[in-house]
Amino acid sequence: MSLLQELGAQLRATSDELPTGLVTAAMERLRSATELLNWVRQASVDPIGVPQLGNATEHAEHAVAALRLAQEAIASYLATLGLAADAVAPPPDRDWRAGLERDEEKRRQQDTGPEAAPPPERLGPWWQERIATLTGEAPPRPGEVTAERGPADTGELLRRVAAGVRSGDRARLGRDLHRVNASTGLGLSAVTGPVLHRLAGDLLGHEPRPDDLARLRTAAAGRVRSLLPGTPPAVLDALLARICRAPVTAGQQPHPADSAVTSSVLTGVLLARLGRDAATLDAAAPEPLRHRDDDA
């Protein structure tokens, strides 16, 4: 290997190791927390940290943009050196995997058994009540819910929801969402952001753009509404706009469960449109191939 090729390999490795995915996952979690606090503050005069979270989210967005700019600059430099094979930059939405990684803390809890699990929630059944409103499916009896709820991996919940969406089984979808606690369910908002952007790009054949909004709405809206008849239309519109990097119309702050549930169902709908199985929503799964623009 020549000195120039060695330099190219090192630059390529540096680009691949930039924590774009981790920062993107953190940004989505901050955005999800902000939405939840915005809902809570409607009943309180105290801003309870929303401005601080907003500033943190903005910093994370700038960090993601800087990391991606660095990757593009490295790719451009390699191309200038004539190392075309090394200059192919990774797709910016490859960070969809980061949100699906299981936390080491949850791994330890599952490895040590149920006795290490945290105590059950004591905030009342508001999550189950909202799921019943969104899906039209009544929650299981209290004993059944308690027996099957507990610490669960949000990535696994997303795969279960996606599988239920593909089968078109709304009752199964309702059961899967009823049987988790609120913290796991709300985590869907943070996990699905990069995943949806990736799936939409695969469906469109290119990075989602604002002018793709109508096409995505046509592809997904009918199926989402049939599975979630109680979801306000503005929730899906906001999710699709965010995927396409289009302005989100300001309106009444949605219930925090609405975005989480709708984004997970939308994930299942896009997977079905692509003909993919829910098992592909795994950080260890092989990278799905991109469609070319002429195949879309």
Write down the domain spans for the chain: 1-90, 96-296
Residue, of 47 and 88, whose pLDDT is higher? 47
Assess whether pLDDT exceeds 70 at residue 124. no
Q: What six digits make up the tokens of 215?
A: 């096409």
pLDDT score recorded for residue 132: 93
Assess whether pLDDT exceeds 90 at residue 162. yes
Give residues with Cβ within 8 angstroms of 21, minimum separation 6. Answer: 94, 95, 96, 97, 98, 194
Asked if 270 contacts 196 with a C-beta cutoff of 8 angstroms, the reply is: yes
Q: What is the pTM of this model?
A: 0.70
Q: Which of 286, 203, 209 is nearest to 242 (CA)?
A: 209
Give the pLDDT band (50/70/90) at residue 82: confident
Residue, of 148 and 286, whose pLDDT is higher? 286
Give residues with Cβ within 8 angstroms of 160, minimum separation 6. Answer: 176, 278
